[in-house]
Structure formats: C-alpha cells, structure tokens
Amino acid sequence: MTPTFTLSETFTPSATGTSTAANSVTPTRTSTPAATSVVVLFPNPATGPGPVTLNLHLSTAGRVQISVFTTAFRRVNEITLSNVPAGTTDVALPLTDREGTPLADGLYYVVVTTPQGRFVVKLMILR
C-alpha cells in the first residue's frame, strides 16, 4: 500500500559540552537525531467497507487517542490506546460510528492525539 497523506513534527536536537583538559572546557555541538512523530492513513480515499490502517510512528511511548469527526465537527467515533510503544504501530480504524453503523460517503477529520502533539488527517470515504 502507498501512503497518501503524511504529517510530521520535528523537535530540536540538544547541545552538549566536552572537557578537553583539566582547566579548559571546549564547547562542542553534537547532533542527535531529531525526534519525529508521523501519522499516515491509508487507503485514502477509502473505497471499501473498511477498516483503514492508521500507521503511527511515535518518537516516545504513551497514550494515543484517535477521534473521527464530520465536517460539522460532530464526533462519530473514538479509539483510545494506552501504552503505545515508541516506534511504528498499525491501528485498524473502523469506518463505522460508535453504534457500528457504516459511515456515509464524504469527508471526515481524523484527529490523532499523541504524547508529541495533535495531528489532523482528512479522510475521504467513497463506496
């Protein structure tokens, strides 16, 4: 599958100092890899009964909340995952509301709240 939408957030690397002699300190900058969180949703647009796959790449572990909203900002579904490990995790997002009724064709917003912040992904459903 080819990802169709990607969001990322980058944090600033840290700076460190190293001591080169007993009486002098030479400041040096060491570059650590930037911590990045990425959310990818596919397939998008969704054309079948679902579910769609939400691929989360988290730089730190923690709680993840996934909410689906209509364009009128009405929440139709919500999933909460506790203790999601750092790294890549796939989550199946059903294309149904809370009662299990299939979502109608149209545009929806998927809001993913991670320890690094909030990501908003548009999801188009075409059946």
Query: Alpha-carbon distance 41 to 119, whole Å?
Result: 11
* pLDDT, position 102: 94
* pLDDT, position 50: 85
pLDDT by 10s per residue, the chain, length 127: 545 544 445 444 444 444 445 555 555 555 444 456 678 888 999 988 889 999 998 988 999 999 999 999 999 999 999 989 999 999 999 999 999 999 999 999 999 999 888 999 999 999 8
**38 in Cβ contact with 8 (< 8 Å):** yes
Query: Alpha-carbon distance 25 to 123, whole Å?
Result: 53
Sheet holding 52-58, edge to edge: 6-10, 36-42, 52-58, 87-93
Query: Alpha-carbon distance 122 to 44, whole Å?
Result: 8
CATH for the 33-125 domain, from 3.40.640.10, 2.60.40.4070, 2.60.40.420, 1.25.10.10 = 2.60.40.4070
**54 in Cβ contact with 93 (< 8 Å):** yes
* pLDDT, position 26: 55
